[in-house]
Amino acid sequence: MTATKQRIEFGDWQTPLDLAQQVCERLARMGVDPDVIVEPTCGLGAFVVAAAGTFSNAKHIHGFEINPAYVDHLSGQLQHVPHHERITLAVDDFFAKDWKAVLHKLTGELLVIGNPPWVTSAGLGAIGGHNLPGKSNFQSHSGFDAMTGKANFDISEHMMMEMLRWFRGRKGTLAMLCKTAVARKVLAHAQRQRAQVAEASIMLVDTKKHFNAAVDSCLLVMRFAVSIDRPDLTYMVYPDLDTLEGYRVGHRAGLLVRNTETFDRSTHFLGRSPQKWRSGIKHDASAIMEFARKDGQLFNGAGEAVDLEPDYLYPLMKGSDVANGERVWRERFVLVTQRAIGEPTEAIRHQAPRTWAYLESKRSELDARSSRIYQNAPLFAIFGVGDYSFRPWRIAICGLYKSLRFRLVGPMDSKPVMFDDTVYFVAFDSEAEARRVHALITSPAATELLDSLIFWDEKRPIKTSVLNLLDWSKSERPMGLFAEVGR
Angle at the Cα of 401 from the Cα atoms of 212 and 257, rounded to 5 degrees: 95
Residue 428 pLDDT: 98
CB 57 within 8 A of CB 108: no
Residue 303 pLDDT: 96
Strands (E), 31-181: 36-39, 60-65, 87-91, 110-114, 172-179
Core vs surface per residue 433-444: b (16+ CB within 10 A) or e: ebbebbbbbbbe
Q: What's the pTM value of the predicted model, to 2 decimals?
A: 0.73
Which residues, at least 6 apart from 284, have a Cβ–Cβ distance to it below 8 Å? Answer: 369, 370, 371, 374
Question: What amino acid is encoded at 243 in this protein?
Answer: T
CB 5 within 8 A of CB 129: yes
- Using alpha carbons, list the distances in angstroms from residue 2 to 5, 7, 9, 10, 129: 5, 9, 10, 12, 12
> What is the DSSP secondary-structure string of 139-202?
T---HHHHHTTTT--BHHHHHHHHHHHTTTT--EEEEEEEEHHHHHHHHHHHHHTT--EEEEEE
Residue 149 pLDDT: 44
CB 457 within 8 A of CB 181: yes
Core vs surface per residue 290-329: b (16+ CB within 10 A) or e: bbeeeeeebebeeeeebebeeebbbbbbbbebbbeeeeeb
Question: What amino acid is encoded at 58 in this protein?
Answer: A
Class of residue 151 by CB neighbours under 10 A (exposed 0-12, middle 13-18, buried 19+): middle
pLDDT tens for the chain, 487 residues long, are: 444 444 444 445 789 999 999 999 999 999 999 999 999 999 999 999 999 999 999 999 999 999 999 999 999 999 888 888 999 999 999 999 999 999 999 999 999 999 999 866 444 443 344 444 554 444 444 443 444 444 455 899 999 999 999 999 999 999 999 999 999 999 999 988 889 999 999 999 999 999 998 888 999 999 999 887 766 789 999 999 999 999 889 888 888 899 998 999 989 899 999 999 999 999 999 999 999 999 999 999 999 999 999 999 999 999 999 998 766 788 999 999 999 999 999 999 999 999 999 999 999 999 999 899 999 999 999 999 999 999 999 999 999 999 999 999 999 999 999 999 999 999 999 999 999 999 999 999 999 999 999 998 888 999 999 999 999 998 654 434 333 444 3
Nearest-angstrom CA–CA distance, 348 and 11: 49
Tell me which DSSP letter residue 270 carries.
B
Residue 203 pLDDT: 98
DSSP, collapsed to helix, strand or coil, labels residue 219 as strand
Residue 80 pLDDT: 86
Selection from 335, 337, 331, 338 nearest residue 296 by Cα: 331
Return the number of other C-beta atoms located less than 10 Å from residue 340's C-beta: 9
CB 398 within 8 A of CB 319: yes
Nearest-angstrom CA–CA distance, 122 and 155: 10
Phi-psi region of 438 (alpha: psi -120 to 50; beta: other; left: phi over 0): alpha
Return the number of other C-beta atoms located less than 10 Å from residue 108's C-beta: 14
CB 271 within 8 A of CB 469: yes
DSSP, collapsed to helix, strand or coil, labels residue 28 as helix
Rg (CA), the chain: 27
Nearest-angstrom CA–CA distance, 417 and 185: 36
- Using alpha carbons, list the distances in angstroms from residue 123 to 28, 130, 185, 208, 419: 35, 11, 19, 21, 29
